[in-house]
Amino acid sequence: MISRENLMRSKLNFKKKIITVLILFSFSAIITTTFNFSQVETDKSSDFYEDTNLINLNLKISKISEKIHIYDNWSAAKFDGICTGNGTYSNPYIIEDLVIDGSGSGSCIWVENSEVYFIIENCTLYNSGGYWDDSGIRLSYVKNSQIINNTCLNNFYGIFLSGCANNTITENTANSNRDGIYLNGGAFNNVSGNIANRNDHFGITSYSNQYNTISENKVINNYYGIELFESYNNTISNNFVYSNDNTGLRLHSGRNNTISGNSVIISYNGIYVSISNNNTISGNSVNDTVYGIRMNFCHNNNITGNNINDNLIGLNLYECENTIVSGNLMNKCGICISGSLKSLRSYDIDTTNLVNGKPVYYYNNKLNLGTNDLINAGQVILVNCNYSIVSNLHISNASLGISLNYCNNISISGNDVSYNKINAIGLYYSYNNIVSGNNVCDNLNGVYLDNSDFNTVLENTVVNNNYGLYIFNSTGNNVSGNTVCNDNVHGIHLDGSNSNFVLENTVFDNSFGIYLSFYSNYNTISGNNANNNSWGIYLEVSDYNTVLGNIANSNTESGIYVTLSYHNTVSENIANNNNESGIFLFNSDYNTISRNTANNNNEGIYLYYSNYNSISGNTLLGNIECIVEEDCEGNTFRDNGSCNYGVVTPDFSIYILFSILSILSAFLLILSIIIKKSKRFNS
């Protein structure tokens, strides 16, 4: 505790110290002491020094105090000169103008079991202990306090309330702590007008609280901005939440909360609500995030009147039943829904939601939709719809352009779907649909099939997407006659998809022209032109596929590349003028490579760690090496034209020697007969 005598002496010198500081500021910079903020990120060092300078300024103009612990003993604290007042509403106890260094243990100010009126204001509190309840200011089972205009730095918690009610936390600065302001198990507290920046975990967090108000705070550069966990009937409003790494504003396992009027900018998740029911999210502005407003496993929530701009996904709903979505304005993003058919059918999404000023059309369980049902669409979402036509629309700068969810026998044709953040056209658990003649440019994914079977993707122009045509875990689809080019990663990608037909597509200027991965088996890749890519046709961990009659020329790597794949047939393809190999097998066994033409490559056919493959009937001309084997065994080679690699040449030398000996023996036998006859004649 501070002695009364020291406190009075400090008061007498207070004005002199202020004058001294002003004089020093007018002539030179203040020399400051460096404090060890071990958890402040290195890229925020300039902010760290601002906080340190603030501490040192307060050291010059405020009283230096030891740590304070009040256990409902305000009279003793007043006697010791720690506070003034008498604890009434009109004359509360006041602790003010102190600087307290916690010296790495405990809390700087700890008040517990108090129901009198008191104020803690204008104090600087730093360097508390590192345990879960050590804080700059700690209140335990406290009512009727006001925590005003304090600075809390480099503590475990800047300000920590546990089991508290009817308190006001306002205009404080809680920077560079583990958590800035933490409310645990309380009610009817007001947290407003505070600054909570650069805290390692949470700027402001509420655990198991009710009827609290968190408003008009500035929460910047934390890992999480504001979080409510298992909290009910709270209001989170008009906060400025900027550049928090993971989530700007998070609600988990809560109900009957209102999140309104907040500005959330630059986070992975803007507003993230999970396992929470009967909440209202309204009138917020959410910009420059990956997920603007994100909801998982939530029921009976209301999302209305928000401005959601420049996010990857504006509004994302996953397994959220009975959600009302209305009056939201989305620019350069849109709505993404996913999950079970039951959840998707329960949504109420009306046309007052706008994407780039145009209506969002959400239809559920409809038949025979047509052009008049989709006028001037900003985004189209169909759920459990059948026998409908989506045609001649111009949709751009949404998150998803056209989405079919559990839909059958839909025709999507003649649309221009470009510059969308995720998918231009997406099919999810949808069957027997036709996607044809669309212009699909500059999206993340051009046409995306997810668990969707027996669809036809025909004669689309797919240009300058990250993935042109992406088919995931889907069977029996026909992908034919498309032009797919200038895609950054894959032109046509089959991922875990079986028994599909990729036929007569033109695929060029991609990293991978046609790419099969992750057990994409029993597919037919035939008649495609896969030229001028990095790799023309690429099989990875994919078996029993037929690669037949394709042209894979002038690729910067290999024409056809097979890795970690077995029992494939690569036949009658042309793979010429590639920078590396015409056909390359890496760690791939029991494949058949037959009747291909692979001319003018670095290697015609290259086998590396690949065993028991059959290489036959190929034309391999003008390559630096026609066939190369490295660390292989059991491969067979035959009839590969002028390339004799692997052909066993008989050793004729023994036959020649045998022939000479035979001739010599015959000559000697004849000579012996002649001599015998000559002797008989002479006798």
The 10s digit of each residue's pLDDT in 263-284 is 999 999 999 999 999 999 999 9
212 vs 416: CA distance, rounded Å: 49
Angle between helices 45-61 and 4-27 (to 10 degrees): 120
**262 contact partners, CB below 8 Å, separation of at least 6:** 236, 237, 238, 239, 240, 241, 248, 249, 271, 284, 285
For residue 679, the model assigns a pLDDT of 58
Q: pLDDT exceeding 90 applies to what percent of the chain?
A: 83
235 vs 215: CA distance, rounded Å: 8
Residue 635, pLDDT > 50, answer: yes
Q: By the 8 A CB rule, do 310 and 288 touch?
A: yes
Name the least confident of 11-25, 263-277, 417-431, 655-669. Answer: 11-25
Average pLDDT for 232-245: 97
For residue 675, the model assigns a pLDDT of 66
For residue 81, the model assigns a pLDDT of 92
Q: pLDDT exceeding 70 applies to what percent of the chain?
A: 86
Could you identify the residue written with the tokens 């036509």? Answer: 389
Q: What are phi and psi of 232, to 5 degrees?
A: -135, 145
Average pLDDT for 566-590: 97
Bigger pLDDT: 646 or 205? 205
465 vs 486: CA distance, rounded Å: 7
Residue 508, pLDDT > 80, answer: yes
Residue 24, pLDDT > 90, answer: no
DSSP H helices, 196-346, are: 341-345
DSSP H helices, 391-519, are: none
Average pLDDT for 478-503: 94
For residue 23, the model assigns a pLDDT of 31
Q: By the 8 A CB rule, do 479 and 469 touch?
A: yes
pLDDT digits (tens, 9 = 90+) for 152-194: 999 999 999 999 999 999 999 999 999 999 999 999 999 999 9
Residue 648 pLDDT grade (very low, low, confident, very high; cuts 50, 70, 90):
very low
For residue 355, the model assigns a pLDDT of 98
Residue 49, pLDDT > 60, answer: no
Residue 60, pLDDT > 70, answer: no
Q: What tokens appear for 58 in the block?
A: 């307060």
Average pLDDT for 367-388: 97
Name the least confident of 222-231, 426-435, 655-664. Answer: 655-664
Residue 255, pLDDT > 50, answer: yes
Average pLDDT for 481-491: 90
Residue 230, pLDDT > 50, answer: yes
Q: By the 8 A CB rule, do 241 and 214 touch?
A: no
For residue 526, the model assigns a pLDDT of 98
Per DSSP, which regions of 352-391 are E strands? 354-355, 358-364, 379-383, 386-391
For residue 599, the model assigns a pLDDT of 96
For residue 678, the model assigns a pLDDT of 58
Bigger pLDDT: 517 or 676? 517
For residue 634, how many other CB atoms are within 10 A of its CB? 10
Average pLDDT for 580-584: 96
Q: What tokens appear for 259 in the block?
A: 């999140």
**Beta-bridge partner residues of 456:** 434, 478
Torsion angle in degrees (nearest 10) through CA of 203, 209, 213, 216: 10
For residue 488, the model assigns a pLDDT of 78
Q: Which of 555, 559, 557 is nearest to 525 (CA)?
A: 559
222 vs 36: CA distance, rounded Å: 19
Residue 56, pLDDT > 80, answer: no
Report the chain's mean pLDDT, rounded to a whole number: 89
Q: SS3 for 208?
A: coil
Residue 46, pLDDT > 50, answer: no
Residue 656 pLDDT grade (very low, low, confident, very high; cuts 50, 70, 90):
low
Residue 666, pLDDT > 90, answer: no
For residue 12, the model assigns a pLDDT of 34
For residue 1, the model assigns a pLDDT of 36
Residue 644 pLDDT grade (very low, low, confident, very high; cuts 50, 70, 90):
confident
Residue 39, pLDDT > 80, answer: no
Residue 293, pLDDT > 60, answer: yes
Q: By the 8 A CB rule, do 391 and 411 touch?
A: yes
Residue 146, pLDDT > 80, answer: yes
Average pLDDT for 560-585: 97
Residue 16, pLDDT > 90, answer: no
Average pLDDT for 657-664: 63
Residue 529, pLDDT > 50, answer: yes
Antiparallel, parallel or unpaired: β 240-242 and 560-563: unpaired
Q: Which of 142, 84, 143, 150 is nearest to 120 (CA)?
A: 150
Residue 234 pLDDT grade (very low, low, confident, very high; cuts 50, 70, 90):
very high
pTM for this entry = 0.83
For residue 132, the model assigns a pLDDT of 87
For residue 663, the model assigns a pLDDT of 72
**339 contact partners, CB below 8 Å, separation of at least 6:** 317, 318, 319, 320
Residue 30, pLDDT > 90, answer: no
For residue 136, the model assigns a pLDDT of 97
Name the least confident of 173-182, 530-539, 651-660. Answer: 651-660
Residue 558 burial (CB < 10 Å; 0-12/13-18/19+)? buried
Q: Residue type for 26, please?
A: S
For residue 210, the model assigns a pLDDT of 96
For residue 30, how many other CB atoms are within 10 A of its CB? 12
For residue 645, the model assigns a pLDDT of 85
